[in-house]
Amino acid sequence: MERAIELVRLYERERTCLTALIKDDPVYFVHLYHTKEDIELAGFLSSQFAYGRIKGIKAFLGELFSRIGSPFLFLKQGDPATLDGLYYRFHTSRDLKMLFERLRYIYERFGSMENLLLTFQGKTMRETLSRLRAEIFKDGELSFFFPDPTPSNPLKRWNLYLRWMVRKDEIDMGIWTFLDKKDLCVPLDTHLFRIGRCLKWTKRGRPDFQASQEVTEALRAISPKDPLMLDFFLCHRVGIENRCPGEKTEGCKGCLVHEF
């Protein structure tokens, strides 16, 4: 418990510096918008393409949002040709057009992403995704963006999206109220997985679903009402800036959480 208190105190001391790191995170693009409709869509798009190196992610998202402007207005009346020639890693402009076409259908039928999740809400987000996938997607269609959860999939990008939409602070937008932040699961990326191994929050060999559960439970023990409170701080100030290797080395002595 004493270690947990010290970790929270460390976070509070560093908290005022965290907003300066938004520019190096996909959530930066969500902060560009101010209406609930645009924030919700910008959050979905930014989270779903949050894979790979941040430089590439930012370049792609910057071009995408520069082209479409308001995501909500583009969804309602935008020309698909706007996406011609745009791609990110293995996703082509054709994939982007298919994604926007399906999002348009979702908004016509359900009104919002929030209502979509409410309609198919299960006891867990994994159950919710399984339900909506079975109802509105064909086999394999857009499974990268709307996955059918498997034991190997920690649902990092969906959990990131939920963190942005449910939590409310300097980083996260907090526009959804149908979920409680205490029930969120960590968006387990490489950085937090390595930190989790160093701090003995998980012994898993890869960042799978079980690892995400174990790291989430460790964070929940520190902050029961808001387990993801430390997520952005740990990811950026420890994982990225200190380049956490996932195991204790001589280089760890300068790490913010070395003593933990």
Residue 259 lies in a domain: no
Smallest CA-to-CA distance from 59 within 68, 49, 44, 70 is with 49
Query: Is the pLDDT assigned to residue 250 strictly greater than 70?
Result: no
User: What pLDDT does residue 84 have?
Assistant: 97
User: What pLDDT does residue 140 have?
Assistant: 79
Residue 115 lies in a domain: yes
Residue 137 lies in a domain: yes
The predicted model gives 173-201 an average pLDDT of 94
Range in 98-107, 155-164, 204-213, 247-256 the model is least confident about: 247-256
Residue 192 lies in a domain: yes
- Alpha-carbon distance values, 198 to 113, 230, 239, 247 (Å): 36, 16, 11, 5
Residue 260 lies in a domain: no
Residue 203 lies in a domain: yes
The predicted model gives 147-161 an average pLDDT of 92
The predicted model gives 120-141 an average pLDDT of 89
Rounded-to-5 percentages of helix, strand, coil across the chain: 60, 0, 40
User: What single string gives the DSSP state of each residue in 102-153?
Assistant: HHHHHHHHHSSHHHHHHHT--SSHHHHHHHHHHHH--TTTTTTTS----TT-
Point out which residues pair with 91 in neighbouring strands: 88
Query: Is the pLDDT assigned to residue 30 strictly greater than 70?
Result: yes
User: What pLDDT does residue 45 have?
Assistant: 98
User: What pLDDT does residue 141 have?
Assistant: 83
User: What pLDDT does residue 201 have?
Assistant: 94
Give Cβ neighbours of residue 185 (< 8 Å, ≥ 6 apart): 125, 155, 159, 162, 212, 213, 216
Residue 73 lies in a domain: yes
User: What pLDDT does residue 137 have?
Assistant: 84
CA dihedral 36, 37, 40, 41 (to 10 degrees): -150
User: What pLDDT does residue 228 have?
Assistant: 98
User: What pLDDT does residue 6 have?
Assistant: 83
Residue 244 lies in a domain: yes
CA dihedral 192, 195, 201, 203 (to 10 degrees): 100
User: What pLDDT does residue 10 have?
Assistant: 86
The fraction of the chain above a pLDDT of 70, given in percent, is 92
The fraction of the chain above a pLDDT of 90, given in percent, is 75
Count the domains in the chain. 1
Three-state DSSP string of 207-231? CCHHHHHHHHHHHHHHCCCCCCCCH
pLDDT band for 238, please (50, 70, 90 cuts).
confident
pLDDT band for 243, please (50, 70, 90 cuts).
low
pLDDT band for 138, please (50, 70, 90 cuts).
confident
Give Cβ neighbours of residue 21 (< 8 Å, ≥ 6 apart): 232, 236, 237
pLDDT band for 242, please (50, 70, 90 cuts).
low
User: What pLDDT does residue 218 have?
Assistant: 96
Q: Can you give the pTM of this predicted structure?
A: 0.93
pLDDT band for 251, please (50, 70, 90 cuts).
low
The predicted model gives 230-238 an average pLDDT of 91
Give Cβ neighbours of residue 121 (< 8 Å, ≥ 6 apart): 128, 178
Across the chain, mean pLDDT equals: 91
Q: For residue 209, give its domain range.
A: 2-254
Point out which residues pair with 168 in neighbouring strands: 173
